[in-house]
Structure 1
């Protein structure tokens, strides 16, 4: 697919029966693209730039200067911190304090959090946003969802994708290696996400689109064999990684949800981020957590593949479940319980459906590349499982497997394990 040509169309009728559309109209990852900002933003005059203590010196100041030199009025929301910026109510208020009635577009300089914050604010005021990417760190650049931390919950708010996505390859190549590794981890997580999407299509109500599936799969394959060059900071390889991450995000906009790129591995990664924030403890960047969680998901996937469907039996114990949620999530537990009760997650009996489709499910579980492959690729990207264990500890890792599925109402491998009665057993015995 010629992605830029599709973006220029705005929307198109797909053979899956749906009309796909994306708010992004421009994707440019190339050297010297910052000099073109004035041309890209022609017709706009008053802009608000969002950056932080990492991205402002790296690129934000240059963006502001280029825009001012080209005649734009530029306001700035600057988060003077190098620690992880949390996109919560406090961050929203800080940007709103700088916003004026004359602001015509939001320019985010950064990656995940700043992009989400830019999308959130821009949508609130009915204006477009741009992301000037500073690191190839995650796949949400073109997603219409803004992942925010609101009321203590990590929630995906439906907004609009950035109208423009730009990235200077020289800046992307100089990004901190941890951010580059995060992008690799996020891409490798697609093996798990695509597998879970197929499961959900059979066992839940998630619509499948072969075109979008192939888009994500092609970008995954384009990056997997490039990992050594990416780690060497080869400009072409870094540029391709950034393009792949952006195109995956475009696929999410086409699908209308994060389903093609987010499955059990993302739920587990969200668990670590959420519980770490609750406890004021350190955690890995999103994509690094996703990479490690993808290994966990692959272990669970291959275990279930070997089971006899005659042994499947739900073993849901509500009292034990509620007590576990209270222990792990504290005061958030009641909202999580309500979320799952409203979705009838634990009162829906899928046992007959699972047995009826077990051969197809086995085929799906068997299509992913295996634990050894995942570990090999992650190690090539500088991931080490002992560092993961050291940061979170086995108790938290096993709790993540057991309770991450309750953070959303998305059918994944984790819910399949719950439906078959193996979730608690596998979580308790998990080891690398």
Structure 2
């Protein structure tokens, strides 16, 4: 898989699949024993006396941050270390705090950590237009090489366009020493691509959104390899964890190719974001993003299974679905509180009038056989997905991530409201599977 990464790094090319020009700004990836020794060469390249910032949290500082800072200091860099206290969330407050910690002469940043640290550094580095190096400490998510940062902005989860890292530097022993729960989360995050890609293709068919098959092809071989190494991943075997990390980096490059998170973030991610927003709004600590995504993927796979069982003549949307967003202000205010207007504004961008909804169903009916082919070509039976998660010790029931059935029911019904992106949750409302069949979804998942 390393060779697959090398094929795209720092390159600009015209895609053979979609005909568009793609560019991957990340120039290099080095994963191997002794990788941190390259910091001496890197430090010499940026210049002695350069001010660099090493950013970590309290745990990742001990795991790798201090080593990175010391190596850079040994060759004469002026190192400014920023250590976030725990618990840490990727919020606009934390991002702005980081930006204020950096001195004006900082020329390069090093993000030593996993998802949250990287989101914060990526955003801050993009604001001041300096390069940064990602130093993963876990194979827990696919955002390392992506062109976005996911931040909670005043309680509302948004993705911000950002410059990807200039390079990735990882020590296998460090990544494999992360809690196994984080490896399980990374695997669950990667496996969500089977449904996110289908969401993307259906959006292309219904609404003409640009689609490129390359992001899915990037991780196809990795999918097959990882299925053969599930037990090794369950034991955090370094070779398997590195394989997972490389697959996650390829997935992030797929987002760079697409110019958004669309190839990797569909209904399952909206469910995760919705649960995270609700938990933080209520003063609770959400579980790992990838573990929530794993539950969301079970839901999305089940909805697609139920969609395949329908036929166009059966499609009847709920009358409530035809209500214009402006007539639902009180409902949104009750559900979202202070952020209700922003959610309503986002949802309004994809709300379909009765006429537009009819057009959508006509389009869906006209290409129904093609849609069925798209779904079945990548669809995994929900039970198979849950079995794979179980082998790794990832959550297979909402209770394992601290989410009640009632809360998950609400997420299934309303997660689509927080983003304009079209997903299977929107398709389910379009044809009338939702809201009527929400309990059937929960039953088929084995949770009711």
TM-score, structure 1 as length reference: 0.95
- Higher mean C-alpha displacement, 133-142 vs 150-159: 150-159
1:128-168 superposed Cα distances (whole Å, 9 cap, x missing partner): 11111000000000001011111221110001001111110
Matches within 5 A, 1:8-47: 8-15=9-16, 16-41=18-43, 42-44=45-47, 45-47=50-52
1:67-109 superposed Cα distances (whole Å, 9 cap, x missing partner): 111211100111122x2x1222321232123212211011110
Matches within 5 A, 1:55-134: 55-81=60-86, 83=87, 85-134=88-137
Matches within 5 A, 1:60-209: 60-81=65-86, 83=87, 85-209=88-212
Question: CA 1:414–1:160 in 2, change beyond 3 Å: closer, same or farther?
Answer: same
> Does structure 2 retain, via aligned residues, the 8 Å contact 1:226–1:237?
yes
Report the Cα distance in structure 2 between the residues aligned to 1:181 and 1:356, rounded to whole angstroms: 40
Report the Cα distance in structure 1 between the residues aligned to 2:118 and 2:353, rounded to whole angstroms: 35
Name the SS for the 1:236 alignment partner: helix
Report the Cα distance in structure 1 between the residues aligned to 2:337 and 2:434, rounded to whole angstroms: 22
- Higher mean C-alpha displacement, 92-101 vs 228-237: 92-101
> Does structure 2 retain, via aligned residues, the 8 Å contact 1:340–1:346?
no
Match of residue 6 from structure 1: 7
Structure 2 residue runs without a partner (length 5+): none
Matches within 5 A, 1:307-326: 307-315=310-318, 316-318=321-323, 322-326=329-333
TM-score, structure 2 as length reference: 0.91
Question: Is 2:403 the counterpart of 1:392?
Answer: yes
Report the Cα distance in structure 2 between the residues aligned to 1:363 and 1:322, rounded to whole angstroms: 39
Residue from 418, 423, 428 that aligns with 1:407: 418
> Does structure 2 retain, via aligned residues, the 8 Å contact 1:216–1:260?
no
Question: Is 2:287 the counterpart of 1:260?
Answer: no
> Does structure 1 retain, via aligned residues, the 8 Å contact 2:395–2:401?
no
Question: CA 1:176–1:311 in 2, change beyond 3 Å: closer, same or farther?
Answer: same
Name the SS for the 1:208 alignment partner: coil
Question: CA 1:58–1:5 in 2, change beyond 3 Å: closer, same or farther?
Answer: closer
Question: CA 1:161–1:345 in 2, change beyond 3 Å: closer, same or farther?
Answer: farther
Report the Cα distance in structure 1 between the residues aligned to 2:342 and 2:100, rounded to whole angstroms: 30
Report the Cα distance in structure 2 between the residues aligned to 1:153 and 1:254, rounded to whole angstroms: 26
Tell me the CA shift for residue 317 of structure 1.
Answer: 4.7
The count of aligned residue pairs is 430
Structure 1 residue runs without a partner (length 5+): none
Question: CA 1:324–1:225 in 2, change beyond 3 Å: closer, same or farther?
Answer: farther
Match of residue 298 from structure 1: 301
Residue from 339, 364, 368 that aligns with 1:354: 364
Match of residue 384 from structure 2: 373
Tell me the CA shift for residue 325 of structure 1.
Answer: 2.9
Matches within 5 A, 1:235-250: 235-250=238-253
Match of residue 331 from structure 1: 338
- Higher mean C-alpha displacement, 359-368 vs 410-419: 359-368
Name the SS for the 2:209 alignment partner: coil
> Does structure 1 retain, via aligned residues, the 8 Å contact 2:52–2:77?
yes
Name the SS for the 2:185 alignment partner: helix
Report the Cα distance in structure 2 between the residues aligned to 1:336 and 1:234, rounded to whole angstroms: 42
Name the SS for the 2:111 alignment partner: strand
Question: CA 1:332–1:375 in 2, change beyond 3 Å: closer, same or farther?
Answer: same
Name the SS for the 2:269 alignment partner: helix
Report the Cα distance in structure 2 between the residues aligned to 1:145 and 1:384, rounded to whole angstroms: 26
Report the Cα distance in structure 1 between the residues aligned to 2:190 and 2:261, rounded to whole angstroms: 14
Question: Is 2:435 the counterpart of 1:424?
Answer: yes
Report the Cα distance in structure 2 between the residues aligned to 1:229 and 1:216, rounded to whole angstroms: 19
Name the SS for the 1:369 alignment partner: coil
